[in-house]
Structure 1
Amino acid sequence: MNNKLRWTQIELPSLHLLWKRDNEEGVVSSVIRTNYPKPGLTSIPSIVQQTGLCDVEAVDMKIRDQDTIVPYREFQYGDGIMVASRMGVPFEKLEETLLNTDILGLSINPTSWANIAKDFMQYAKDVNPDIKIVIGGNEATFRPETYLRDGLADIAMLGEAEISLPNLIQSLREKSDLRSVKGIAYNEVGEVIRTGMPDKPSMEDVPLPALDILKDDISLWTTPIESFPLPEGVDTPIGFTFFTRGCYQSCDYCTSPRKMGKFRFNSLERIAEELDHFKEHGITTLNVWDDSLTSVMYPGALGREEGRRYLIDLAQLIRDKGFAYEFSQGVVIKDLWDKERNQPDFELINTLYSNEIRDGKFVGCYGEYFPTEFLQVENPHDRCEKLEDFEVEKEILKAILNAGTKFFTYSSIMGSNEDSPENFEFAKKRMAELKELIKTNGGRSLATPFIYTSFPGTKLWDKEEMNLEYSIDEFPELYQLNVATQKTEHFKPHELVLAKEDLEEELMSPGQFARWQSTGRYQWPEIKK
């Protein structure tokens, strides 16, 4: 007799946010990325499976039924109306799955999907009143009360789950006191109880992604995060991985330092095991999703020289295993500069960003998000420690192009209180300069300006310096990088969005801009093969 618990991990439908003004058809104001697995969908089932206490299923609701767009609310935004919809598998298609589930796992990230999560949790409870709902992700870590006080979620996982989740499952199975489980929050007679942040796992303790559970989805993992047009010889599906966790940068607008804490990195032996695991499932292209891969060179990790050697050996290992890859979160720009020689670190750059064709297959790096991020000020380093003087950033970018990587997205994060119309124009000029530099050196680019946004769990949120006109509880859909919630000295929230659109229209081709506004998807012209 099988007395295991039945765990179902759900990836929610996408948020489709449409801003309708002046009787227009509307502009999609949420980035739409569908054909990839979010980290929680591959990691949580693996953690649960390793306990041996559960039969595990995983369902990605955003990757299928992408033509199904179900509106769930409208609200006034500036001089228009925002229409918020769910895009993907309708809730009703999961009725039978929910009836056969003991524990429902949901990773809620980003914040803008909060109402979709709440609606789905309510639907799950209506279908199966006995179901236990366990939430994770940034929302569970930084805003657990939002989901626990309404009785929608039963338990919120705080931070990383590798150690705390097995303990929780054991407790649920034995119906023991949840206070003994470190790293969770739960509702007890109207009071939200937190048991503290969990212990941090070593990277060696992180299980391999649950590719066996997701085998029916793998063939659909076809789109790079930045929608790079894949060069000839780059195969799909695309796997998604982290070689490190945590970050030494502690940027004001990022949640990683608080959620992930101390920087950790995988051994090369463990990475080799993971690469073989991907290959066994037909995956030889990787999205490297690390927040700060080069933090391995910092004094708290390996130090500059030993860390450089680790990165060089890592890149060589990935090549030796026959993988193509992209850096979708980028690499910290200042770490690619050799301060002693006052020049780009050519050895490191050439190793990380070079590529070649082996037996008809592309091996090495094909694309990167180049994280310029604060181009609106004279020296970007003044706004963010991880950045460099603009002239230095251009030298580093040129070195990357010369190494062989040819596809880039790049950004400027606009909308702090100091950003004036003149700052937007200054950013536009610099972004155009980067576009020309990339083109001149044989590359192709897509500008992706973002809105300066305050998220729970960031230093910016704690400072409470932003003049928010849209509260996170009432308008969570707006808490993302493509619309604004704050009024500044120079702009109303919707005026910031229009200023960002002006940047996009200037820097994108007409076709790219039209597709971006109508679909929320980045558009690159096809490569002629």
Structure 2
Amino acid sequence: MRVLLINPYSGGYYYRLGAVYPPLGLMYISSSLKRKGHSVALIDMNVEKFDLERFNFRDYDVVGISADTVRFPVVERIAEKAKAQNVTVVMGGPHTTACYHEILQKGLCDYVVLGEGERAFSDLVESIASSEKYPLIPGVAYMKDGEVIALPSRFLENLDDLPFPDREKVHLYRTKFAGERATSLITSRGCPFNCEFCSASQFMGRRIRWRSIENVIDELKILKKLGYGSVIFFDDNFMINPKRVVNLCEEMMRKDLRFKWWAFSRADELLGREDMVEAMSKAGCRMLFIGFESANDEVLEEYGKNLKSDIAFDVMNLLKKYKIDVFASFVIGALKDTRKTIEKTVKLAKKLKASIVQFSILTPYPGTVLFEKLKHLIFEKDWRKFDGTHLVFKHPNFSPKELRRLFIKAYYAVYTSPRLIFRRGIPFLVRLLSHREAYSL
């Protein structure tokens, strides 16, 4: 079968900072399909020109499109054009997994892949090749006789069984970290936590599944041969198993795999684990993304973070000791937030002296606990506004304009401080705050 995979244009936060990483999910699906002998083309609209009006979808049997919430309007347009040319259209990703009933009932695509896509998408393509229109495949949904048919998705138990991501187009990416050419990889899937505003545990499951250290090392060797000197570990919970982190770091050093890298971490996964932090530093860790979220414990409780705000300075001191920078993330606009609590959070963001600070406006993404909690208050129908920079629900304390002003004010308060204005500069602030409504193709 001839399969086309499309990663829609983003224009989001990391894109504005110049950090464009390859779409690992589609790359895993591509390599899984190629392993079964299918012909696969992958187009990433973030780094490739894509003329939707003139594109000939008839060159392919199946078109698969990845969709998160903010990019869904782009996904709809792509799907519309492909279906008009009588090509089978499959959607996947967090948004479609959460909204598959509505998507299928509107006839926006032929199939939706729920959750992890490697096995389900591959099995679906095999069924399409054998002209089976209504396959009973776990993790695949479709319409039949006016009803939505969907079997629950199955999570992959052994991640080592997956082929490495298809990196055929790695030459198109120019992202750098710490002066080195950078790319991404993932060493585990799943999240045991259930933060209200995050869909990771719903999309990937609450039980963590790890790749073996040997398997990760083998991929790192390939990345080194491809010329990468920096990597980002995109795991939702890279630090949750300290022993595994230490073992990976020691193996990286033993194999002389010298990368400058960063990863995501919860604040409470670092305290009391100085041996892990030291091993990470020695193995090349230069930055951690940490969601401190708020300076107010009541807000953190509302978010379901299960941590206290007063650990922030202890975490920063520990990482400073080992020369690890911090990308600090905060979310404003909780139901319990007021102007005073937001101002308190901004003051904390300044005092922490992180290398990079990110503010987001609380957004109820489909598939999250927050969405179910607030869906009766959501007034915004344009998915493009679900980008973390707009208020999309009726807030008890703020209008959309008021919260937007506080959001911009927060960034200016942090990035016009002498410490960061010389380190990052005004152009960085302008680029970071620019919201690109560039969804035309």
Q: Provide the TM-score with structure 2 as the length reference.
A: 0.89
Q: Is the 8 A contact 1:29 1:482 kept in 2?
A: no
Match for 2:77: what amino acid? D
Is the counterpart of residue 364 in structure 1 residue 364 in structure 2? Answer: no
2:186 is aligned to 242
Using the alignment, how far apart are the partners of 2:82 and 2:375 within structure 1?
38
2:352 to 429, 434, 443: 434
Counterpart among 172, 193, 208 of residue 220 in structure 1? 172
Equivalent pair of 2:302/2:334 in contact (CA under 8 Å): no
- Compared with structure 1, are the counterparts of its residues 382 and 139 closer, same or farther at alpha carbon in structure 2 (3 Å cutoff)? closer
Partner amino acid, structure 2, of 1:394: F
Is 1:63 aligned to 2:56, yes or no?
Answer: no
Does residue 331 of structure 1 match 2:265? Answer: yes
Aligned counterpart, 1:92: 53
More strand by share: 1
C-alpha separation in 2, matches of 1:43 and 1:287: 17
Give me the TM-score of the superposition, normalised by structure 1.
Answer: 0.75
Question: Is 1:316 aligned to 2:236, yes or no?
Answer: no
On the 8 A contact 2:111/2:141 being kept in 1, the answer is yes
Q: Which residue among 463, 468, 480 is the counterpart of 2:373?
A: 463
Alpha-carbon displacement from aligned partner over 1:178-215 (angstroms, at most 9, x marks no partner): 3421211112233221122234342122221101x32x
Q: Which runs of 5+ in 2 are unaligned?
A: 417-425
Kindly state the Cα deviation for residue 258 of structure 1 after the two structures are TM-superposed.
1.2
1:120 aligns with 2:78: yes
Structure 1 residue 520 displacement after superposition: 5.9
The structure-2 alpha-carbon separation of the partners of 1:267 and 1:434, relative to structure 1 and needing over 3 Å to count, comes to: same
Shift in alpha-carbon separation, 1:144–1:384, aligned structure 2, 3 A: closer
Contact in 2 for aligned 1:318/1:364 (Cα 8 Å):
no
Paired residues, number: 426
**1:32–1:192 CA distance, 2 compared to 1 (3 A):** farther
Q: Residues 263-342 of structure 1: matches in 2 within 5 Å?
A: 263-296=208-241, 308-319=242-253, 320-328=255-263, 330-338=264-272
Provide Cα deviations, 1:231-285, integer angstroms capped at 9, x if missing partner.
3xx421x221111100111111111111111211111111112112223332232
What is the distance in 1 between the residues matched to 2:65 and 2:39?
Answer: 16
The residue aligned with 1:505 is 412
Q: Classify 1:156/1:201 alpha carbon distance in 2 versus 1 (closer, same or farther; 3 Å).
A: farther
Distance 1:293 1:514 in 2: 31
1:6 maps to a residue whose letter is: R
The answer to whether 1:47 aligns with 2:32 is: yes
Distance 1:146 1:379, change over 3 A: closer
What is the Cα deviation at residue 458 of structure 1?
A: 1.0
Cα pair distance change 1:207/1:467, threshold 3 Å: same
Runs of 4+ aligned structure 1 residues displaced above 6 Å come to none
Q: In 2, Cα distance between the equivalents of 1:496 and 1:30?
A: 23
Deviation at 1:401, TM superposition (A): 1.7
- Which string of whole-angstrom CA distances, capped at 9 and with x for unpartnered residues, describes residues 93-137 of structure 1? 5x14x231111111112x0111111111112223x22x1111110
Report the Cα offset of residue 391 of structure 1.
3.6
SS at match of 1:59: strand
The verdict on how the C-alpha distance between 1:274 and 1:61 changes in structure 2, with shifts beyond 3 A counting, is: same
The 5 Å alignment of 1:101-500 reads: 101-109=60-68, 111-126=69-84, 128-129=85-86, 131-176=87-132, 178-211=134-167, 213-214=168-169, 218-223=170-175, 230-231=177-178, 234-236=179-181, 238-261=182-205, 262-296=207-241, 308-319=242-253, 320-328=255-263, 330-338=264-272, 345-352=273-280, 354-355=281-282, 364-375=284-295, 377-378=296-297, 382-383=301-302, 386=305, 388-406=307-325, 408-435=326-353, 438=354, 445-464=355-374, 467-470=377-380, 474-500=381-407
The answer as to 2:28 corresponding to 1:36 is no
CA change 1:490–1:199 in 2 (3 A) is: closer
Provide the rounded CA distance (Å) in 1 between the counterparts of 2:378 and 2:16: 22
Q: Secondary structure at the match of 2:70?
A: helix
Task: State the alpha-carbon separation in 2 of the partners of residues 322 and 147 from structure 1.
Answer: 45
Three-state SS of the structure 1 residue aligned to 2:398 is coil
The structure whose residues are more often helix, as a share, is: 2
1:68 equivalent in structure 2 = none
Q: Find the counterpart in structure 2 of residue 8 from structure 1.
A: 4
**C-alpha distance in structure 1 between counterparts of 2:338 and 2:78, whole Å:** 40
For residues 199 and 347 of structure 1, what CA distance do their matches in structure 2 show?
32
Identity %: 21
